[in-house]
Amino acid sequence: MDTLCSQTVGAGKLYNLGMYFQSGLIVLASMYIPSVILNYHAEFFLLALGLDPVVAALAGTYSRVAVWCLPGVFLYELLKKILQAQNIVNPMAYIAVISNVVYGALGYFLCYHTELGFLGAAYARSISNTLLPIFAVAYLKWNPVYKLWWPADHSVSSQWKAALAHVPEFFALGIPGMLMMLMEWWAFEVCAVLAGWMNDPVLSISVHSVLMSLSAQAYSLFLGLSIATTVRLGNALGANEPRRAHMISRVALAVAFVAGLLVSIVFMITHDYLPAIFIIDRAAIKYEDVV
């Protein structure tokens, strides 16, 4: 979506955005059932990997609750990508902030003031993720830019055939990009499995969860930078401005280097204090300092 939408915006062909959105719906709909099956039976797969039965059971229960919010997340991501390609970023950021505030407040209430326990976080996540597309659609009602995606001669009903024809192009671009991201994520997932094999799996996974949380915070910075770079590059290439695209890529590399250096310095200075933000177990904090 980042590649296709940004280039079509740069070329001034906004009517293609609706077709790409519909292609994205087809692709994600085809991925939904496998995603539900894998997540709903997460306990089985975790046990097959040799994880502690208690840990596998808890993770499986959590996953069975959280998996049902995937359609809302899929829809929100598609809308977000199209709006980002049009340089409409702030509304999506505000929506994400509101969703996270709801998740934090609702998760705290459900976890500590109901009998749900840790499952409260799963229900809170499902609810907050479902709010994402609702808020996004509400924004589009207020600012109907979607009318540019489906002008009179490119209606929604007339675009399905073209959208289906573009599915192979989606897979051709999406699968390599997905694999690149998965290689990064799987590195941490493999560590999570290895932590589950250790003598004290609960303690090990607790330590690993802190590492994952900190990594996610750092990762989000560079993910945002990469998305911004992709959109700007796509706009420049779509407008046939290779010199501007070259300048954008050089600036992005320089910013990424400086940001990486700053993040490393912050982690080195605060490594004694950061774990205590996430956990209160002294043993886990001690091991986290070592990590």
pTM: 0.77
pLDDT-derived band at 203, boundaries 50, 70, 90? low
Whether residue 192 is contained in a domain is answered as: no
Residue bearing the bigger pLDDT, 184 or 47: 47
Task: Sort 29 into a burial class: Cβ within 10 Å, 0-12 / 13-18 / 19+.
Answer: exposed
Helix (H, G, I), strand (E, B), or coil: what is residue 11?
coil
pLDDT tens digits, one per residue of 220-231: 888 888 888 888
Residues 168 and 208 in one domain: no
Output the average pLDDT for the chain: 83
Residues 72 and 101 in one domain: yes
Highest mean pLDDT among 102-111, 173-182, 282-291: 102-111
Whether residue 106 is contained in a domain is answered as: yes
Question: Under a CB-based contact definition with an 8 Å cutoff, are residues 181 and 37 in contact?
Answer: no
Residues 169 and 220 in one domain: no
Residue at a domain's end among 180, 210, 228: 180
Q: Where are the alpha helices (DSSP H) in 156-271?
A: 156-165, 167-196, 201-238, 242-270
Domain count, the chain: 2
pLDDT tens digits, one per residue of 232-276: 888 888 888 889 888 988 999 999 899 889 988 888 887 777 766
pLDDT at 99: 92
Which residues make Cβ contacts (< 8 Å) with residue 275, sequence separation at least 6? 210, 284, 285, 288, 289
Whether residue 109 is contained in a domain is answered as: yes
Residue bearing the bigger pLDDT, 158 or 196: 158
Residues 49 and 124 in one domain: yes
pLDDT-derived band at 127, boundaries 50, 70, 90? very high
pLDDT at 171: 83
**Dihedral sign (CA 194, 125, 97, 173):** positive
Residues 206 and 134 in one domain: no
Residues 241 and 152 in one domain: no
- Using CA atoms, how far apart are residues 214 and 36, in angstroms rounded to an integer? 28
Residues 154 and 210 in one domain: no
Whether residue 185 is contained in a domain is answered as: no
Residues 235 and 261 in one domain: yes
Question: Under a CB-based contact definition with an 8 Å cutoff, are residues 76 and 132 in contact?
Answer: yes
Whether residue 187 is contained in a domain is answered as: no
Residues 65 and 134 in one domain: yes
> What token pair was written down for 240?
């046939």
Residues 204 and 176 in one domain: no
Residues 163 and 208 in one domain: no
CA distance readout (Å), 84 to 5, 71, 227, 228, 264? 9, 20, 9, 8, 29
pLDDT tens digits, one per residue of 27-78: 888 888 888 888 888 888 888 877 778 878 888 888 888 888 888 888 999 9
Question: Which residue in 199, 203, 211, 208 sits closest to 282, CA to CA?
Answer: 203
Residues 60 and 149 in one domain: yes
**22: domain range?**
1-180
Task: Report, as an integer, the average pLDDT of 98-113.
Answer: 92
pLDDT at 167: 86
Whether residue 121 is contained in a domain is answered as: yes
